Structure 1
Amino acid sequence: MLTLLWISISLMLLSAILPVKNGSKRIIGAFGWSIFSLHWLRQPFHYIAIDDYVNVVLTISMGIFCILIAYRMFIEYTSKYTPVKQQIDITYMATNAIAIGSVFYYPFAEIASLNEWLISTVTNNIMWALSTLNITAYRTGNMITYNGHTVEIILGCTAIESIALFMGLIASVNAPLKKLLAAFMASVPVIYILNILRDVFVVIAYGEMWFGPNSFEIAHHMIAKAGSGVALFVIAYMVMRILPDILELIDGLWDMTAEQMHNLRKKVLGNN
Structure 2
Amino acid sequence: MPALPATTAVSIGSIPLGDVLAWTAIAAFVVAMVLEWLDAPDPARYLAAAAWVVFGVFWLTMVPHYYLEVKSPIQTLLTLAALPLCVYAGYLLLQGRESLLLLSKAIAFMGLIYLPAETIPFVKTWLIETTARQTHFGMELMGHSPGIEEGSNGYQSRFAFDPDVTVTGRTTYIIMSCTGIGSMAIFGGLIASVTASLKRKVTAFAIAVGVIWFLNLVRNVFIGIASPWGWFQQDILVHIATEFMGAPADRTSYIVAHNFIAQSLSIVALLGITYLVVRILPEVLDPLEEVLFILTGTEYDLSDALGEEMRADGGTSTSAASASESTAESGTSGESDPASTSETDSER
TM-score norm. by structure 1 comes to 0.76
Q: Does 1:12 align with 2:29?
A: yes
Q: Does 1:27 align with 2:46?
A: yes
DSSP 3-state at the match of 2:145: coil
Q: Does 1:184 align with 2:205?
A: yes
Root-mean-square deviation over aligned CA pairs: 3.1
Structure 2: distance between partners of 1:210 and 1:43 = 29
The aligned runs of 1:234-245 (5 Å cut-off) are 234-245=272-283
DSSP 3-state at the match of 1:136: coil
Compute the displacement of 1:39 (Å). 2.4
Compute the displacement of 1:216 (Å). 3.8
Compute the displacement of 1:57 (Å). 4.0
Preserved CA contact (<8 Å) 1:159 1:191: yes
Compute the displacement of 1:132 (Å). 5.4
Structure 2: distance between partners of 1:250 and 1:132 = 38
Q: Out of 108, 111, 116, which is 1:102 matched to?
A: 111
Q: Out of 56, 71, 81, which is 1:61 matched to?
A: 81
Preserved CA contact (<8 Å) 1:97 1:172: yes
Structure 1: distance between partners of 2:216 and 2:52 = 31
Q: Does 1:116 align with 2:135?
A: no
Structure 1's unaligned 5+ residue stretches are 82-88, 261-272
Preserved CA contact (<8 Å) 1:162 1:191: yes
Higher mean C-alpha deviation, range 211-220 or range 171-180: 211-220
Q: Does 1:138 align with 2:147?
A: yes
Structure 1: distance between partners of 2:20 and 2:220 = 33
Compute the displacement of 1:48 (Å). 6.5
Aligned counterpart, 2:270: 232
Q: Does 1:90 align with 2:99?
A: yes
Preserved CA contact (<8 Å) 2:190 2:287: no
Structure 2: distance between partners of 1:120 and 1:134 = 21
- AA aligned to 2:82 is M
Q: Out of 224, 244, 248, which is 2:286 matched to?
A: 248
Aligned counterpart, 1:38: 57
Structure 2: distance between partners of 1:144 and 1:45 = 27
Preserved CA contact (<8 Å) 1:146 1:204: no
DSSP 3-state at the match of 2:177: helix
Higher mean C-alpha deviation, range 54-63 or range 121-130: 54-63
Structure 2: distance between partners of 1:210 and 1:37 = 37
Q: Out of 193, 199, 202, which is 1:172 matched to?
A: 193
Q: 1:52 to 1:202 in 2, by over 3 A?
A: closer
Preserved CA contact (<8 Å) 2:50 2:90: yes
Structure 2's unaligned 5+ residue stretches are 1-16, 150-155, 235-251, 299-348
Preserved CA contact (<8 Å) 1:130 1:200: yes
Greater Rg by CA: 2
Structure 2: distance between partners of 1:203 and 1:256 = 37
- AA aligned to 1:35 is V
Structure 2: distance between partners of 1:113 and 1:156 = 16
Compute the displacement of 1:17 (Å). 3.3
Structure 1: distance between partners of 2:263 and 2:141 = 24
- AA aligned to 1:228 is S
Alignment coverage as a number of residue pairs: 249
Structure 2: distance between partners of 1:55 and 1:200 = 21
Aligned counterpart, 2:308: none
Structure 2: distance between partners of 1:56 and 1:198 = 20
Higher helix share: 1
